[in-house]
Each structure stands twice: as structure tokens, then as C-alpha cells.
Structure 1
């Protein structure tokens, strides 16, 4: 029987739903075995709110979802996967819990029934101080209209899809719902009232944060995982939203004790130059920093400069790095005030208690300023302390009249006994603000090049040099050899293939500019920024065959684009928003989007896509090879072993057609890359080395080459991929890039041809975007 390798070869992420359960996953095990993956990565498996299609709104008691197949279905999947040599990584959600229907969440229901006297009140991060001991639920519209509130036959209050249980004896059949509400331990308030009685996952009202720092909460939420560990029923875990926890380091320490030496991954964003704190006992992140470095390596810096000008002419805003920084600063502040006032209020309250001699509004202003100024994902990790103190020093110089308040914040970061919990609350707020302000709002308000407006990416720094790329990966080989390398996930705004296509715009900026201005003259969009944003996404998903031949969007694709446009407009919040939907404005944009896909406009778009599609396919293959063979462990998101035109969720969680060809060029590449890893496990595992190859000549910048091996030994494998492919097509151009191979004789894994010393890209690659060489 095959064994599950200790060091993963690659993981394969599946999204479980009521229609794709453990039984359906069993049905694809043969396909995964043929691909060569070593670990199956499951989305959350616990019972969740009714109808959940993602599992992140799980509800207690923590138990394997009956809808997905229950414990028996999971054990069968584990048994059959292990027999195939495939391990299982579980996605766990410690930060929050679903609360939309209190009848399905016994902990939340108890809090609603009994308020502060509930035995579960300490399970949640509640704040009842602002409402004299009552729990404020920001579930009403901005007008505070309660006319939709009804009382059902079970004594529950219903508000749309939300269900609230009532205190014992507080309701009788036929009672006025408003009178019943007045008798409860909670109040319903407008979403914009700033009276929020519980910490949420970001700004999602239906997900309430748990206090994992409380031992009883940890025990209640992880007993199921301990039981699975005792029976050896999983091989690793992925921790969702680590930086949302009060004490990420303490949590990971405890989790590491529970799961032993199994794989431990954490979802955590890292900005350019930022490193995961070495005190975290983890094998790595879920790989957004690797997504960023790969995306940046395939983004043409010179083209981005020209795209800034086009963006300015279309939208009136430059959209360059300086402009994006200014917009980001404004967005932080607006988002903090509008969506997270509770974060500031609760942090300030702790500081007031520790420093009562200072005016409260000074502390409030200092907290707000630090949250908006922070440049790293979370500021209370040990290694982040210098950056936090440097930020406070910068703020003191800028605001000398608030020096004492900033000193109080610095004291809180340096001394855990001073204002206990304040630094942690402030750091968690920074994480929440960055995620909401940038990824959800900001990335839908600008459009210089939307392929780099992605989770983990930095639109203000869209490109990296080959030297930076190689230095990043050498450090990763040294520090995080088991870290995941993701190109697409259930959270990415666009699939890897859509981003690869859009990135080609930066390699054809002049032709793109001509297309844009022609289209805008023919059919001006109702909103320039939104139109320009959607046009790039349309380019990314426009149908094109392997030969570059293009068609028109199908009815199904057009419908998906309409749904995407609605979500994008509401996330951006300028044309429409989630809390104030403008049906007329949305309809006008969608009418324009439909029209662009017809007639002469469609012909122009199809012609542009035909010109870049072959290059984008080559780059998509190059990116995929890098994600699987660079330091770390490649994560293959469901369906991305074939071409995938998915946009943001829920579009990227659609069912996958597993009947697609096993000989697809992308599938064949994945299979070849993972076969290579299996033949050379030491070169790609912990202890493996990463050595950039020297590439010279006029076209040298178009080749990324590196060797993998082991310390004190010559390298075993050479990987070569092309980048910026639009001006590096097969033929004479590839003679102008020469690669210095490591000493020895090297055999092409695909063709069997041998090479030594130096060779041109034309000789090594031919018309291929990727080549693997093995030492003879």
C-alpha cells in the first residue's frame, strides 16, 4: 500500500458543499493519485448554518457535518485516501462562529436568552458596556426600521433570515414583537449606529468572534480535533484567520501540543519584506506571500508605468504607487470609523483605565492614528515590536501635542501588565482594517492593473526584479521549506489563469490603450472607474482556445459576469453598496457590460484577446510550474489543473467538471512537475537548496531559472520557465538568452535530450514555456 509522505509533494484543496460531500471526494481520489498530489486539503468539515456552502459559519457543538457525510463518511474517506497514499489536511475555524440562526447555535442562543448570566457569555468577545448591560446587534438598516420583526410560533423573533431566541417567559403567542424585543437581553440597532455588542469576523454581522484565549473555549472548540488526532485521522491543519485571534502565538502553541508533529499552516497575510514570526510553531502560511512574488515576477514594470497614464485619462486618477498609498490611508480611516468603531472604543477603554490622567479623546485619537498608520499585518508579534515602536515614533513627530498618548501605546506594547489586552486588541484591529479597507473595498475602487489587486499582493509595488524573486525564494528554502504556495484559493479575487491573462495587458499597454479609448468612445460606461475595472476582468475571462482563437461569452458566462459586477460595485461602495443598494445604478452598469459583449465592441475585444491569449497560456503554465517547484509545497485549488476562468467567490466555488481531459496541457504539466518532486524528495523538502541560475544576453530578463538540490552536493534538478512571454515567443528571440547550467550533464525530462555547460533558451526550451532537467 502507498504511504503518505511526511513532507508533502503537493496539496489539493476541495470545497465541500451539500452537493460535494465526502462521498464525492472519494470519487476523485483516482484522479488525484494520477496527478501526483500527496495531501487532500478539505474546507471546514464541521456542521454549519443551514444551507452553508463554505462551512466558515460552523455552529456548536463541534461535530463533523451530517450533511457532508458525518463521522462515518469522513472515516471512510480517510481510509480510502490513505490507501491511495494521500493524507488529509483539515481547515479549522477557531476565530468565529455562525450566529444568523440562534436555533442552530446553542451557545449563542444561551447568550441571547440569559445575557451576561449565560454560562456561554465568556465564550464570545462581547461588549455590553455601551448599552447598560444589553447586547447590541447591528442588524437593522440605517433607518432602524423594525417593521419586519415578527414573532413565530416557537417564541422566536424573526428579522429576515435571522432568528433570535427569547428569554424564558418573555413571549406568548400573539404578543407584539416590539414588546417582546423590549423584554430581551439584547437590542436591535442600525448597522451604522456604531453600537456593536460583539466582535465580528471583519465586518460580517453573522459571524461572532470566539475567545480562544479562554481555556474552556479552546477545549470546547477543539475536543473533536483531539479525538481525530487520537485516532490518527488527519495529517495536518490549516488555521483560518490567525490574526483575528486575541493571542495567535499562545493559540498555536496549544494547537501544536494537540496535533503533535502534524503539518500546521496558518492563514496570514505578509506584506513585502515581512516575515512570519519565528516564535510561531508552524510549518508556514497558506501561501499568499508566494502568490504575490510570482504575480509580481510576471508583471511588466515598464508597462505598469504606461498603464498609470491610461488609468488617469480614463478615470481622472493616476492610480500609481503614490496615489494608491494616499487612497489606502484614507480608506483605513473611513473604514475604521464606519465599520469598526467598536475596535477603537474597546481599546481606548483599556488604555483609559491604565492612564486615567490623560484625556480620553487624546487616547482615542492615538489609537485611531496608529491603526491607520500601521504597515504590517499584525503589530503584537515579538518580531514586530520594533516596527510598532518606529511607527509610534513617527506619529509622535507628526503629532507632538499627542506625545503622551502615543507613549501610553508604546508602554502597552512593551509591557503586557500595563493595560492588559490593549495591544492585542489594537493589533487585531489593524489586521481587520487592512483586510477590509484594502482587499474588500480598495481593490474595487482602483483599476490600474487588476491582476495585482489580489489577496497577498501589493498594487503599489506590482513588479519585482529577478534578483528580488530569487532572494525571496532562497530565504523561503531556508526558513519555510514546507510553506504552502497558492496561486488560486477559495478567497482569491480571480483565478490564476484569469490573472495571467490580465497581466498581459502590461506587456501590451499601447494596444490596450487604443482598445480602451475606442470602446469608451463607442460605448461610454455609466461610471468610468467601474467600467475600466470590469473591462479588465472581461479580458481575463473572454473565451479563447488553445490556438488563440476567440469567441464570445456564452449566456452562462455573461450571467456570471453580471453577478460579479454587482458584487464588485457593492464591495467598492461608490456606485452601490451592500447596505445601500442602488438598483438603478447597478442596472445601468450591467446594461453597459452586456452591450460591450456584443457587436463591434465584442469584435474588438476578441481581437485583442486573440493577440495575448497564447502568451498568457504560456505564462499560466510557467506560473503553475513555479508554484509546484519553488521552495515550499504547491497548493492546487480545485479545478485549476485545467484552465479556469473563475472570478471571486462564490464564482470560484462552482462545481468542478472532473471529466475534463487528463491530457490537458496544464494537467500534464502538474503531473510532470509532481513526478519530478517525487523522484527528488530531498531536493524539494526541508534541507533542500535553491540556487538561481545565471542568464545572460539581450533577452535574459525573460527567463527564470533555478536549481534544486541538497546541501554539500551538486544540484539534482534544474527548472527553467519563461516570463514576459509576449515579447519572448518561440523562435529567434529565444536565441538571445543564454543559461549557464550547473556543472554536469543534464537530461530534459520530456524530450530526453542532454545538455551541458551553457545553452540558449531556444535550445533548452524550444517552443515550450517550461523545461525540467535532471542530472545524469
Structure 2
């Protein structure tokens, strides 16, 4: 089975094409990776604020370079010895005319070739909740027209840039009273049209429109304008269509996620799976593509069946990754036929290791005092409930309708709805998973436990508990209901809804209401561990046991709001909580005159101010001078954009949702006043500087851990240097590979101590990443198959280091990474650890390592190991210790 030693992640689009990726092949090879992981190469569109949806899974994206661009990329990757891992987006497709499958469904309804490809309730027309106002008003405002579309060779309605085709059999009604030869010819072709011959129909319509003279086309357009303006005629025609444009009604098709712009696919149907995966599987056989990464896998009805079939079609040698966050105790991924996950859970694992739990508690107390009416949220069920009712009312209505068909103990919609909401939002995992049509045991227990908790809630009635038990029974034993097929449909859609609600709660408001450093951007609940180092070792043992070839990521998750090194700065705040809280209070007092009052509320409120200052500390470039107007302007713009998103998404600011312009303007005004205040800027930089330094050391520690623990590390493009971007979403700006190439050349030619002194440039991180990636190439078995064994640390600073070694057939790697070093570093201007502090701290080495001569990866110094290894010696020239055995210097232990 193919497993990459490491991967480099590039997000296509937004200025990055196949050729840009091809031009970076040599750089990636020099850096030391052996695989490129990239977003979907197939024709796709942006859906909403986040995420891509595939328009055509069989066509390479024209904007990315189509076949010629992909051929160049493939050739350059082959020449550099790099494999390719591509994204698949199988859970949803855009509900737009660009999607030929969806266009076919709208045009032909239940008779369409692709009618069974989507989750559609054919009891009535497909409801499209796209209208912002009643149709008559939209027509009067000239936002909705009945027209012919030459490109799509169809007559239909165009609304806000989206075209919806008419059923061909309705053309006669549409063109009634138009006694022209053009109308007669169109009607004649439409009357003979069938879904099976749709291509021929459109070819004929295209020919007719192309051959018609301009005067005839103008006459046709005028006729269609008259149809739109005649309410009775227009409504009669719309009644003939397979769809309805509506405002806020529940659609007949299940959307994916919380977007009415997408529609869910039914991969449980063989034809759907076959047609969607035909070209990706072909690339897997004939190009450098060696792996597939499945995005939004939780939105599929049955991920296990899907991955089983994907493995069967892709072959045992393919590298398959599921874009899923695994929470504590979950076992679903072990049942799937994949190598592992995309590795985002590693973000939370590292956070738990590098945060100071006592300092976090102090920060929390200061933060809570800012506004006692907003409490620290220990769980986020209330947020999930709000999001479900705001964004998933359509899905909820469909689930309630399905339940009413199963003879529940009460058919009261409100009671049924509450049972669904309670189970979906209180579930402690993303969703439940089915195995062979039944909920898997672990998730069945989770559902029962959730139901038991809900049933004990204050005010819960016996009737509500009866309904709750009924819903639980439908999912656990669908065969015992009056209609097993409907019960299975309910169970599958409930699971998809629960996953979508949890994902949306992470992506949106939750991380802003959790606490002082937004821990919940770091995967649901980043809980403080009583033994952080021990917990880290346990997690790595589990990684080695369950998915040793799964990925390890520190960047890019919809659940993050900061780049990986900006996050490391935030963790440093927990190491000096009083110092940070005092600074925030000082700044709040000095800037009080910049606040405004809106409807008796001070804006920005105290917690928004805290968020503003901590975000500025996270994203301010360490080398930026307060007199650099151009640099300040860039940071100002990033901060404004971040705070605008926080206002829009934050639960505690929900009062302003929809009418947040005054609030947003007030926050922007406050930011502008901050950046105009040189005294504040000087104080801010001096206060934040030691946190930046500690954050840089955290960043180096995080990077080394990712590159040495079990799993396949992923380097996000650009994060091989400091990544202090204000959002974890990447790809909105193209990466400058030319500058990275220059930085890599500089890093390899510059002495290590100079790189450390110039730490703020990020070149030292680039040097470190290259050294470890190249080592992974040389010692592939050691990293992919080697044991992970914790090392005991003795001495005064034992709690400030995590250490382990890897072993495979006589090859050794020892790693010691510092943690919680703010107090040691604050007197320095670069991340050199004070060696005198470490003199009494050492690694206790097992017998099998004694007598082995190892080489320090970063300095090249060799050392022969004994029973104890001094960390003062290990950190002498570089703040991270990695010792590796070389075959030619191995000496067996004397007995």
C-alpha cells in the first residue's frame, strides 16, 4: 500500500492554477516532501463563504488550466519524484445551472436521467428557496425574467444570475399567442423531446436560436417579457414546472451543510458513485495521482459503505484519507477502508500539551469579569440549537415529516421536532454511524446516553420522553417500525443533520464565546488535562495503533480561525495571564474615549475588546515597526476583516446580526483610532514581544512534533515559515513560491545561530522543516513503522519538556521538545533556552539506547549516550533536541 512520507498542501483557485503548482514542484522536492496534496482539480465553484462544490466530476477545471495545465503539472511532479493526492467533494453539488446533473433534474423532473442522484422528495415540485421577496416584487424590480438562454439552449427563468430551465413540454404554453415561425419551430422540437434524448433536444434548440435573425430573437424576448408581466399567464406556466421558486419554504431536496446553494448526492446508489468517481479513479491509474482525500465525509449517508466501495474501486495500493475530525472515544474510522484522517485532531492534541492549565484558569476569570452576563460556556449545546433553528429548518421539517409516517406516540410536530433537536444537539460526537443498516454499537450507546440525559432535564414531560424513546428506537431498530425503508431514511438524514450542525457550530459562533483565547477553534472541547505530557503520549500511542499512516495537520480546518503560529502565540498568553490581563485593562482604559454608545450599549463591548487585542497580538508581524505605515495598514485591514467576521458569526453579538452595520462601523472606528495612537502601538509591541518569542518557540515545538510522531505530516503551503494569518482558511491569496525558494536557499547557507537571532523572519522554521522532511525521506521505515516510546525526564524542569524516541530495526530517533518556557525566554530577544536553567534536567535513557552514538539533526554534533542525557547539553545550540542514529556510527551495547 502506498503511503507518502510527507505531503505539501496547496489550495487551488484564487490565483493558484495547475501551472503554479507545477512551477513549485522543484521547490517541494528540495524542501523534502514526496507528495503534493491539493484541492479538487475538477470543475468547481465556491459555495457560500467556505468550501468548494464540484460542478462536473468528469471535467478538469478550465480556470485552473484544464487538460494542458494538468498535463504539465503531472509531468513536473513525475520529474521531481512527487506523487499527487487530490481532493474529492462527493457529498454535495451546486444547485445551479452550471451543474448539468441538477439542470437535467430541474428540466425533466422525476423523469430525468439524474433524478435518483440527489436526495429529492418527489411528492411535489422541487422547492428552491432562493427568492428574497415575493415573485411579483422581484419581477417589478427586474431581478427576475423569463428568457431564452443561448449557452444552455433553453427557455426558463433567470434570477440573480442563476438560470432555471422550463420543462420542454411547457414550451407550447409559454409561446402561446406567438404566431412566428421561430416560436413554431421551438414548440415543434420541444413537443418531441424526451429525457433520454435531452442532448439532441438542446442541440436542436441551440441550432434554432443560432440560425434565427436578430429581429426574430428580439420579438421572442419581447414575448417572454409579456409572459412574465402577466401574473395569471406566468403563474399558469410556473405550475407546469418541476420546481418552484419560493422564499423560505422547506425545499424538497436535501441541501448539504447549511447552504441552500447545494444539493446532497446519494452515493449509496451505484450509478451515482460510478459516475462521480469515474475520472478520479482513471487519474489514479494513469497519472501521478496516488491518493484521494474525501472532504465532508460526515455529510454522506453511510461513510463506511462509501469508503468500502472506494477502496474496492481504487485498489489496495491507493492512499485514501477521510476529511473527518475524530473525537475522543470514537471508533468509526477504524471500520472504514481508509489510511486515516486529514489529521486535524492533532491541533487539539498539541494545544493541550502546550497550554498552561493554571494560567488558562486565571485568564478565564479575568475574561469572565469583563461582562458577567456572558458566562464561559462549558458546552455548546445552546449554540448548536440556535444554529439548527437558524440554518437547518428545512432538514428538521423533513425529519419531522418522516417521523409522522412511522406512527409515533404523538404526531404533534412541535414535540417531534423537539425530540430531534435535543438528540442532534446534545450528541457528544459529530454524528452516529451505521454499519450494515444498523447504528454501530459505540454510537448506539452515545445516542442512548444522550437520550437519558435529555429525559432527566428539568421540565421534561412523560409524553416528551415517550417521543424521545420512539425516535431512539427508530434509529436503533428500523426493522421494527411500520416502514423500515422510511426509518432507515430518517436515521441516515438524522446522522447527516447532526454532523452538519456540529460542523457549523464550530465554523461559526462557538469559538468566540468559549473563553479568553478561543480554545474551541481547536476542535470542539480542548479540555485541560491533569497530565498533559502523559495525555500526549497516550494520543500518540493511539495514533500509532489505529492509523499510523493517517495525516497530521496543524493548519487548515473549518474549525480554526488562526494560522498555526498565530495560535501558538495565543497559547503563550496562558503562561503570563496576569501580565496579559493587566495590559488589556490598561489599553481598555486608555482607549475608552474611542468607544461609542448604540442603543444604550457600549460598542465594542468588553469581550469584543479583549478579542480585538488578543487577535492583534496573534497576527502582528514581529519585525513590524510602529512607524511602518504600509505595514500597519496591512495589519489594520486584516484585523478589521477578522473582527467583521467575529461580529457576523459571534453568538454573544447575535443581537446585532442583520443590523450589524453600526456595530461594525464602531469597531472599525476603534481599530482606526488604535492604529493612529503611536503611544499605544509602542506599548502594545513592548508588551506583546515576549509572547511572540514564546509563541515562536511553541511553533518550533509544534512543528517538530508533527514531523516526528506517528503519522504523515502535512505542510500547508506557506506555513513552512511563520504562519500568523488571522484565519485558518488558506488559499485566498496565492503563495509566493519564488520567495519561498529564495528563503530556502538562504536558510541552507546561513549559520544556525544567525537564523535563531533572526527568528522573526521565519527562516529558522524553514531550515528546520527541510531538515526533518529530508530525514523522513532517508528514514522512511523509522517514521512510518517505528515504535513510539515515551522517555522519562528527571530534574527541575521535567514538566517543561516532552520526550520520546522512535525505533525500527536498530534505527533510533530521540526527540525532546520544550513547553511552557515563557518565564525563561522573556529576558532574551531570540529563542535560545537559558542553559543554566536546564543543568539539573536530563533524559533517562533505556538500556537499549546506552552506548549508541547519535547525531544532533540541526547541529550535526555527535554524542555517545549513557544512562542519562543532559538537556543543557541537548539545548546548547538549538532549542529543540533531535538525535538520530547513522548506520555508519552505530555501536552495539556492551554486555
Shared fold (TM-score greater than 0.5)? yes
1:71 to 67, 74, 91: 67
User: Secondary structure of the equivalent of 1:716?
Assistant: strand
User: Secondary structure of the equivalent of 1:187?
Assistant: strand
Against the structure 1 CA distance between its residues 73 and 201, is the aligned structure 2 distance closer, same or farther, given a 3 Å change threshold?
A: same
Please tell me whether the aligned partners of residues 131 and 246 of structure 2 are also in contact (alpha carbons under 8 angstroms). Answer: yes
Q: CA deviation at 1:466?
A: 0.5
Greater CA deviation, 211-220 or 345-354? 345-354
* Structure 2 residue 829 is the aligned partner of structure 1 residue 733: no
Q: Where in structure 2 are the equivalents of 1:19-168 lying within 5 Å?
A: 19-49=15-45, 56-60=52-56, 62-99=58-95, 101-102=96-97, 104-127=98-121, 133-141=124-132, 146=138, 147=141, 149-151=143-145, 152=147, 154=149, 155-168=155-168
Against the structure 1 CA distance between its residues 597 and 315, is the aligned structure 2 distance closer, same or farther, given a 3 Å change threshold?
A: farther
Number of aligned residue pairs: give it. 756
- What does the per-residue CA deviation read over 1:244-296, in whole Å, with 9 as the maximum and x for residues that have no partner? 00111111111111111211101112223434432111111101111110122
Please tell me whether the aligned partners of residues 335 and 433 of structure 1 are also in contact (alpha carbons under 8 angstroms). Answer: yes
* Structure 2 residue 816 is the aligned partner of structure 1 residue 720: yes
| 1:692 paired residue number | 790
1:175 to 226, 235, 244: 226
- What does the per-residue CA deviation read over 1:429-480, in whole Å, with 9 as the maximum and x for residues that have no partner? 1111111123312123444212x23252524558861101100101111111
- What does the per-residue CA deviation read over 1:88-131, in whole Å, with 9 as the maximum and x for residues that have no partner? 001000001123x41x12222222233334332322222465xx
- What does the per-residue CA deviation read over 1:351-410, in whole Å, with 9 as the maximum and x for residues that have no partner? 332335543444333222111210011112424222222222333444444343233233
| 1:407 paired residue number | 469
> 2 CA distance for matches of 1:337 and 1:485?
34
> 1 CA distance for matches of 2:59 and 2:578?
56
Please tell me whether the aligned partners of residues 11 and 37 of structure 1 are also in contact (alpha carbons under 8 angstroms). Answer: yes
> 1 CA distance for matches of 2:530 and 2:771?
28
1:753 to 833, 851, 862: 862
| 1:621 paired residue number | 700
> 1 CA distance for matches of 2:547 and 2:730?
31
1:386 to 445, 448, 455: 445
Q: CA deviation at 1:641?
A: 0.7
Against the structure 1 CA distance between its residues 627 and 446, is the aligned structure 2 distance closer, same or farther, given a 3 Å change threshold?
A: same
Greater CA deviation, 149-158 or 384-393? 149-158
> 2 CA distance for matches of 1:43 and 1:402?
45
Against the structure 1 CA distance between its residues 289 and 23, is the aligned structure 2 distance closer, same or farther, given a 3 Å change threshold?
A: same
> 1 CA distance for matches of 2:353 and 2:421?
35
* Structure 2 residue 296 is the aligned partner of structure 1 residue 187: no
* Structure 2 residue 604 is the aligned partner of structure 1 residue 527: yes
| 1:425 paired residue number | 493
Please tell me whether the aligned partners of residues 622 and 723 of structure 1 are also in contact (alpha carbons under 8 angstroms). Answer: yes
> 2 CA distance for matches of 1:769 and 1:143?
65
| 2:188 paired residue number | none
Please tell me whether the aligned partners of residues 7 and 714 of structure 2 are also in contact (alpha carbons under 8 angstroms). Answer: yes
| 1:516 paired residue number | 584
| 2:549 paired residue number | 482
User: Secondary structure of the equivalent of 1:236?
Assistant: strand
User: Secondary structure of the equivalent of 1:62?
Assistant: strand
Please tell me whether the aligned partners of residues 23 and 73 of structure 1 are also in contact (alpha carbons under 8 angstroms). Answer: yes
| 1:376 paired residue number | 429
| 1:203 paired residue number | 258
> 1 CA distance for matches of 2:443 and 2:11?
34
Q: CA deviation at 1:344?
A: 2.3
> 2 CA distance for matches of 1:367 and 1:457?
21
Greater CA deviation, 552-561 or 138-147? 138-147
User: Secondary structure of the equivalent of 1:291?
Assistant: helix
Against the structure 1 CA distance between its residues 489 and 573, is the aligned structure 2 distance closer, same or farther, given a 3 Å change threshold?
A: same
Q: CA deviation at 1:720?
A: 1.3
User: Secondary structure of the equivalent of 1:544?
Assistant: coil
- Structure 2 stretches lacking a partner, 5+ long: 150-154, 176-222, 435-439, 596-602, 748-762, 826-832, 891-895
2:567 to 477, 496, 499: 499
**TM-score, normalization by structure 1:** 0.91
Greater CA deviation, 262-271 or 76-85? 76-85
> 2 CA distance for matches of 1:644 and 1:254?
38
Q: CA deviation at 1:514?
A: 1.0
| 1:639 paired residue number | 718
| 2:305 paired residue number | 250
> Whose helix proportion is higher, 1 or 2?
2
Please tell me whether the aligned partners of residues 96 and 209 of structure 1 are also in contact (alpha carbons under 8 angstroms). Answer: yes
User: Secondary structure of the equivalent of 2:261?
Assistant: strand
| 2:760 paired residue number | none
Against the structure 1 CA distance between its residues 543 and 434, is the aligned structure 2 distance closer, same or farther, given a 3 Å change threshold?
A: same
User: Secondary structure of the equivalent of 1:16?
Assistant: coil
1:543 to 621, 640, 656: 621
| 2:754 paired residue number | none
Q: RMSD between aligned alpha carbons?
A: 2.8
User: Secondary structure of the equivalent of 2:349?
Assistant: helix
> 2 CA distance for matches of 1:244 and 1:51?
15
> 1 CA distance for matches of 2:627 and 2:363?
24
User: Secondary structure of the equivalent of 1:482?
Assistant: coil
* Structure 2 residue 648 is the aligned partner of structure 1 residue 570: yes
> 2 CA distance for matches of 1:550 and 1:619?
28
> 2 CA distance for matches of 1:219 and 1:477?
33
User: Secondary structure of the equivalent of 1:391?
Assistant: helix
Please tell me whether the aligned partners of residues 284 and 291 of structure 2 are also in contact (alpha carbons under 8 angstroms). Answer: no
> 1 CA distance for matches of 2:142 and 2:530?
51
**TM-score, normalization by structure 2:** 0.80
Select the structure of larger CA radius of gyration: 2
Greater CA deviation, 178-187 or 650-659? 178-187
| 1:472 paired residue number | 539
| 2:196 paired residue number | none
Q: Where in structure 2 are the equivalents of 1:452-471 lying within 5 Å?
A: 452-459=519-526, 461=528, 465-471=532-538
Please tell me whether the aligned partners of residues 500 and 616 of structure 1 are also in contact (alpha carbons under 8 angstroms). Answer: yes
2:509 to 425, 432, 441: 441
Please tell me whether the aligned partners of residues 94 and 261 of structure 2 are also in contact (alpha carbons under 8 angstroms). Answer: yes
User: Secondary structure of the equivalent of 2:715?
Assistant: strand
